[in-house]
Amino acid sequence: MRAGQGASRLDSSAAASRASGQPSVRPATPLNPKTLDAMTTSAANHYEALFADIAKSCGPVDNVTLTGIVGFSAGGPVSMCRVGAADYVTCELSLHPEQVESSEGLKFELLSLVGLEEAKCQRLLTAIGTLSMEAVLGDRHTVDVSQIISNAPFSSVQLKLKSRCEIGGRRYGIYAVEPVGV
């Protein structure tokens, strides 16, 4: 079949649909679950796989997501979940399309091990999460946080690769955020 014939047939089909007042509908192509990439994997499955290692080493990850009225993508705080008794992990950065891959080639979340109360921890993780949209971060990178958290017993944090996995053919990880010099 020549290209002109196919185009004419499509055009005449669309014209017939318009003339009858009925929309032209093509049957949906079924999705093959084996070929879905990481962005189409359900968020729940994504985070269940990503958080499996930290749940073993740090304690269970709470099902409740702590988030702001204004979402992170619109300039609000990053969403996070409690891990164990006192730690928090972000739960939206690794699926954010603007996040820059880490120096280890991972899309990632942040696990706070700094011992801050919830509001200060969320402010810290939001600042580092925002930085991850603009800069390459990675294992053993140090970030000055003295302007973000006042009265903290530390002025810098270091990122340490805590876990990594592959989901839907893409590499993901979690970086622990630990205080420096405490």
Largest CA distance in the chain: 75
Question: What are the residue ranges spanned by the domains of the chain?
Answer: 33-179
Q: Return phi, psi of residue 45, to 5°.
A: -65, -40
Helix then strand then coil, in percent of the chain rounded to 5, is 30, 25, 45
> Rounded to an integer, what distance in angstroms lies between the CA atom of residue 159 and that of residue 109?
11
Each residue's pLDDT tens digit in the chain (182 positions)?
Answer: 333 333 323 333 333 333 444 444 434 444 444 444 544 458 889 999 999 999 999 999 999 999 999 999 999 999 999 999 889 999 999 999 999 999 999 999 999 999 999 999 999 999 999 999 999 999 999 999 999 988 888 999 999 999 999 998 999 999 999 999 87
> Rounded to an integer, what distance in angstroms lies between the CA atom of residue 131 and that of residue 102?
11
